[in-house]
Structure formats: structure tokens, C-alpha cells
Structure 1
């Protein structure tokens, strides 16, 4: 009976992570903001442990999505935006290191409140992107290159901190930053998002190794591997339909789901 329950749980983990992982290949998101409510609400993983588990899975999604998306956004094209990648990384690595250390000192109640607020903010941001057009491609927000670099570092600090707190890749913030602040094409901004997310998440992940909750990776090994395999399959599928699914329609659906799931799970979490 116990074995059957474990198999059912892992099957659910594989299916849900496949759907969420497809966002990595399709949009350039790690999908972790959707995975976090699933881990806490559906699988009963405590919040801090869920964040650490979420970050480990997000690393797989981002790595595989970068590889699978290379047929549409080649690495040579991504390299042309390397200045933007390094600009954002200058802030995001510091933000991720600080936030991951600070989170370990928070009580579960305050951690849930902060995560609820961040998830609701991300949901509103997604819905805003769907209904309001982004800035003209190729036109940076600031004409002064030094002010533009400074704005990139500041944006990176905030994005890195959010990524560490939620265990997310940060694409919901990185993609609009790439388009609005630096004037990138939205598909290229998705790949830039993945390139910034990967080292940022590694820094936050290494920081969490000091926490006792890090043992969740061995305690939930079956759940972890089911979601890892599902995430790889999903990111491969998402990359194949890149450009087919209308981005604004997807953003509306995802924003609504995130708004509902975040409120339902974290507003009632103890």
C-alpha cells in the first residue's frame, strides 16, 4: 500500500513538473513560482525545504531549456547580448547570496508572508505584461550608458534576492528587464534570462547548503527525481513550440493560475 502511494505521488510530481517545465523551453521561465505552491500545497513539503527543493529542480529546468532553445536562439546570438548578461549578474549574484542567508533566520510564518507577497506581485506583473505592450525593441530605457549599467546592477540585486527567496529562476523579472531596460527582443530576452538565472541560482543553492533543511534533497529523493525527469521532458516540449503559442495569451493564463494558487496555498500556510 505504501509503495502504491509513493508511486502515485511520484507520478503526480512527474506530470505537474512536465507542464511547469515546458515554460522554460517556451518562454525562458524556470517555472518555479508555479512549482513552489505545488510542493507546499499538493505534496506537503515545508516551506523552506520546498524552496531548496524548488531551486534544485529549477537548475535542471534552466540548464535544459538553454540547450533546447538553442535551435531558435543560437549561442552566437546570445553572446551578442553578453554585456547585458554580465551587467545583470553583477547585481543578481550579490542579491542571491544575501537573501539566501537572510531567509534561513526567518520564522516559517514570516517566510510564508514574504513568499505570498512576492508571488502575488509576480502574478500582477505577468498580467500587466499580457495587457500592456512592452517598450520598442532595440531602444534602451536610458541613453546614458553609465546610468544604464547602474540600473542593470540595481535591477539584478532585486531579481537575485527574489530568486533566492522563492527558489525561482527569476525570468518573470529578468525578461521584462531585458525588454524594457535594455531594449532586447522578447525571445532573446528569454535566453538572456536563462543565462543570468543559472549562475544566480547556483550561488543561492550553495548558500542554502548551510541550512539544516538542505537534507530535504535526500529525504525527498524520489519526488526530486520524478520532478527532474518531468522538467527535462517539459522543457524539451516547450522549446519545440517556441513561437507557436501566443505569448500574451499564455501570460494571461499563467498570471491567473499563479494568483489563485499563491493565495490559496500561502495565505493559509502555518
Structure 2
């Protein structure tokens, strides 16, 4: 159901973005996957509008989360995985650019179906991640050339998902780092933000170049209030890192995300 009046549109966007950003900050995510059903449901945007708007809000959330986590958790912990992170970024940036171009040629109906499938996958990934131990042995052997190839390939997938959903991609980055490269779960959260930042910037610039932000009204009515709410929530979530355990939270949110995605993105078929 869409909001009844335009006056409460911005207020609702601001209020709902705060808990979403808190959860994102706690888990090392941008929270964009939880914004998608809100943008497409109560706020009433089409699938083609949702993606670039979500990317714009994601950029704000990631920047704040990264700054806060940098104060709480030392960024030096990611240095042993710098090679993997760099090639994940390269692959993600390449496909974020390509994916944004593909999205332009998709109808709203096709894009809605793609978003639904990806959100269900992400919801399941969150639930699986909730059961993961603090660290796991790496599935990819510590062979530099092999790790580069795997990181580049995984980056391409992450970039595609990011550009087609308008998400930061942390839901896929974190399990990739843990399973494939044996990164500790807390370090993976910080690393995911470092990887997501350039990925989101590339996708956002590509959508801007394609004219997605010609209409400034959604930026004023939605991106600005959601960005402000995300600023508050990201700071709170970042400060709570290490205090509130996130495993059970991820399992619960994975279930909620799947339910919300099905409810919102199947509405047109009802």
C-alpha cells in the first residue's frame, strides 16, 4: 500500500531508514536490500527508479559505516587480504558499469523479477551466514594466481548484483571472503565496505550518465531524508559493532527479507 499523502512520504522515508542503517552498520552491509521493498512498496517507485535511488542512499550509508568502523575496528586488519580485496574491487567495478547499462534495456516487469530472485538469494545468504563460525578454512588455496582469478570472477558477480539491485553487495561479499578466502567474519564486514564503496560509485555514475537523476524530486523527497536517516542509523550501528551479536540477527533478517520481497515484488501478479 502506498502512503496516503506526499507530506508523510519524506517523514516515512527518514524514519524507516534509521533502523535499516543500524542493522546495516551492525553487519557490515549498506542495508540496501532492506530498502528495496520499502522503495518499491510503501514509497511507490517503479523498479527502474528503485535501483539508482537505492544506490545513491547506499553510498551515504557505506561512507558513514566505513568511517565509524574505522574508528572502532582497525583497518590494518584487512591488509593481509589486500590482494584479494583489490581484485574483488576490479571485477565488481567492471560489472557494475556493464550491469547498469543492461538494466536500462530491461522492462519494469523483467527488472522486478530479477530483483525478486536476487533478494531471495540474498535472504538465504544472510541466513546461511548467521550459522557461520568466526572463521573457516579457505576453500581457495593460497596460490596468488588462483586467488586473483577467483577474486576477479566473484567480483564480476558481485558487481552485477550491485548494479541491478542498487545494493552495496555486502550480502555476497562477506560469504565470499569467509568461504573462499578464510577471512575472519569481523574483518570480512569491514572488507565488504571497502569493496562496496567503489562498486556503488561506478554504478551510480553510470546511472547518472544514463539520465536516471534528471527528475530531482525523488532526490529531494526520498534520497535526502533516507540519507539523513541512514547517517544517524549507520553511526549507531557502527558504534554497536562488537556489542550486539549479529548471527541471530542475520538469520531473522534473512527470513524477513524473503517475506518482504515476495510480498512486494509479487504484487503485480496477484
Asked whether the 8 Å contact 1:134–1:180 carries over to 2, the reply is: no
Asked whether the 8 Å contact 1:217–1:224 carries over to 2, the reply is: no
Residue of structure 2 in register with 1:243 after alignment = 242
Q: Deviations over 1:14-62 (max 9, x none)?
A: 1111111113321110010110110010100111111111000000000
Residue of structure 2 in register with 1:160 after alignment = 159
Residue of structure 1 in register with 2:228 after alignment = 229
Superposition RMSD in Å: 1.9
Asked whether the 8 Å contact 1:95–1:158 carries over to 2, the reply is: yes
Q: Secondary structure at the match of 1:215?
A: coil
Q: State the alpha-carbon separation in 1 of the partners of residues 132 and 177 from structure 2.
A: 16
Q: Secondary structure at the match of 1:44?
A: coil
Following superposition, the deviation at residue 64 of structure 1 comes to 0.5
Following superposition, the deviation at residue 214 of structure 1 comes to 2.5
Query: Once structures 1 and 2 are overlaid, which stretch shifts more, 199-208 or 122-131?
Result: 122-131
Residue of structure 1 in register with 2:73 after alignment = 73
Asked whether the 8 Å contact 1:53–1:217 carries over to 2, the reply is: no
Q: State the alpha-carbon separation in 1 of the partners of residues 236 and 219 from structure 2.
A: 26
TM-score, length-normalised on structure 2?
A: 0.92
Asked whether the 8 Å contact 2:134–2:185 carries over to 1, the reply is: no
Following superposition, the deviation at residue 7 of structure 1 comes to 3.8
The unaligned stretches of length 5 or more in structure 2 are none
TM-score, length-normalised on structure 1?
A: 0.92
Q: How many pairs does the alignment contain?
A: 266
- Residues 219 and 238 of structure 1: CA distance in aligned 2, closer, same or farther (over 3 Å): closer
Following superposition, the deviation at residue 11 of structure 1 comes to 1.7
The unaligned stretches of length 5 or more in structure 1 are none
Residue of structure 1 in register with 2:50 after alignment = 50
Residue of structure 2 in register with 1:259 after alignment = 258
Q: Secondary structure at the match of 1:242?
A: coil
